[in-house]
Chains A and B, each alone.
Chain A
C-alpha cells in the first residue's frame, strides 16, 4: 500500500489518512459573480498533474498539505498548512 509522509507522524500507509481534495481558494463571496461562485463550489480540476491537496491523518487529527503528481502517482512533498512548500 502506498505510503504518505505525514509531516508530524512520518510515513504511514494510505489507509491511515483521509483525503479531502485539492486546495481551492475561495473567491470573495461578497463580491464574486454567481458564475465564479458556482465554479468554485461545483467544478473540480480533473486533469492529471501536480496538485496541492488537503490530507488528514485520522489517528492524530493532523491536517496537512500534500503536493502530489496524480499522473506519476508520486507524492512530492508534504507540509503543515502555513509552513509552505519547500519549492514551488
Chain B
C-alpha cells in the first residue's frame, strides 16, 4: 500500500529541520547537519523506528519460529543475529521480537505466515519507537537515565535488558558496530516522543546530538534505492 507511515518521533524531528528520506513508507531524518561524524563518535542519537518488526509470544512461539527458519536464542533475555543484519530477541521467557535490518524481509514473511495466530502462538502487534545510540559518551548518558549497570556483563555477550529509563519501560541491547558500541532502545510508540526528547536533551548537555540515518548507513545510494521500494 502507498499510505504514508509516521515515526512516533516525527514531530520531535521537525523542529530541527533535517533532510528526510522515506524508508518502509516512513519519513526518517537522513541528515540533520552536513557533518555528523563528530556527533556519531561522541554521542549520537538516531531514529530507527522505520525498521520492520514482528512480535510473537506463547508456549509454542519458539518452536513455530524454528519451523519458519528463524532460530531464537536458547537463553532468556538474549538476542541473536539473523540474515541481512536483522535480529531475533527472546524477551523474558516466551516472547520474541524479530527485527529486520535495512534490507531484510523476515518480519513481513513471519507476519503473513502467522496471521491471527495458532494455539500457543500469539501474534504481538508492535509499533515501537526505536532509537540507536552511538559514541564514546554513551555511558555518561546511561548513568543519568538508567539504573542497570551495563558494565556488569561482557561487551560481546548478547544480553537484552528490560528496564525503565526516565520513567518509561524500555528494551535495551548493546551491539558492536565496527568495534564501536552501539545501543538500541525500543519503547512503546506512545512514549517514544517523550523518551527521545529527554535522552536528546541529556545528550546535548554532554556534547551529543541527533544524527540522521545516513550516519548509521553511510551508503547513500543504497538508502535512496531502498526508499523507492
Contact = CB atoms under 8 A, between A and B. Distances in A.
Interface of A: 8-9, 12-13, 15-16, 57-62
A62 B164 contact: no
Nearest to B164: A59
B76 interface: yes
Contacts of B77: 8-9
B163 A59 contact: yes
B48 interface: no
A57 to B, nearest CB: 8
A9 B92 contact: yes
Interface string B159-187: 00111100001100000000000000000
Contact of A58 (B92, B93, B147, B164): B164
Interface string B73-87: 000110000000000
Given A59-B162, A59-B164, A60-B92, A13 B147 contact: yes
Nearest to B170: A59
Contact of B163 (A8, A16, A61, A62): A16
Interface residues of B, number: 13
Nearest to A13: B147
Closest 3 CB pairs of A and B: A60-B162, A59-B169, A59-B162
Nearest to A9: B162
B76 A8 contact: yes
B169 A8 contact: no
8 contacts: A8-B76, A9-B77, A9-B163, A12-B148, A13-B147, A16-B147, A16-B164, A62-B92
A15 B93 CA distance: 22
A58 B93 CA distance: 15
Interface string B81-114: 0000000000111000000000000000000000
Looking at A12, A13, A15, A59, which has the most chain B CB atoms within 10 Å of its CB? A59
A8 B92 contact: yes
Given A58-B169, A59-B169, A59-B170, A12 B163 contact: yes
A9 B148 CA distance: 11
A25 B91 CA distance: 30
A6 to B, nearest CB: 9
Interface in B17-71: none
Contacts of B147: 12-13, 16
Nearest to A80: B93
